[in-house]
Amino acid sequence: GAGVSQSPRYKVAKRGQDVALRCDPISGHVSLFWYQQALGQGPEFLTYFQNEAQLDKSGLPSDRFFAERPEGSVSTLKIQRTQQEDSAVYLCASTRGLAETTDTQYFGPGTRLTVL
CA-based nearest residue to 43, from 95, 108, 104: 108
Cβ distance to other proteins smaller for residue 17 or 51 = 51
Give the C-alpha separation, 39 to 36, whole Å.
10
Cβ distance to other proteins smaller for residue 17 or 74 = 74
Cβ distance to other proteins smaller for residue 17 or 105 = 105
Binding interface with other proteins (CB under 8 A): 4, 33, 35, 40-45, 48, 55-56, 58-59, 91, 93, 99-100, 102, 104-110
Rounded to a whole number of angstroms, the minimum distance from the CB of residue 16 to other proteins is 28
Cβ distance to other proteins smaller for residue 44 or 68 = 44
Rounded to a whole number of angstroms, the minimum distance from the CB of residue 100 to other proteins is 6
Rounded to a whole number of angstroms, the minimum distance from the CB of residue 45 to other proteins is 5
Give the C-alpha separation, 99 to 78, whole Å.
22
| Dihedral sign, Cα of residue 100, residue 4, residue 36, residue 75 | negative
Length, in residues, of the chain:
116
- For residues 21 and 86, the answer to whether their CB atoms sit within 8 Å is no
Rounded to a whole number of angstroms, the minimum distance from the CB of residue 54 to other proteins is 12
Q: Which amino acid is at 33?
A: F
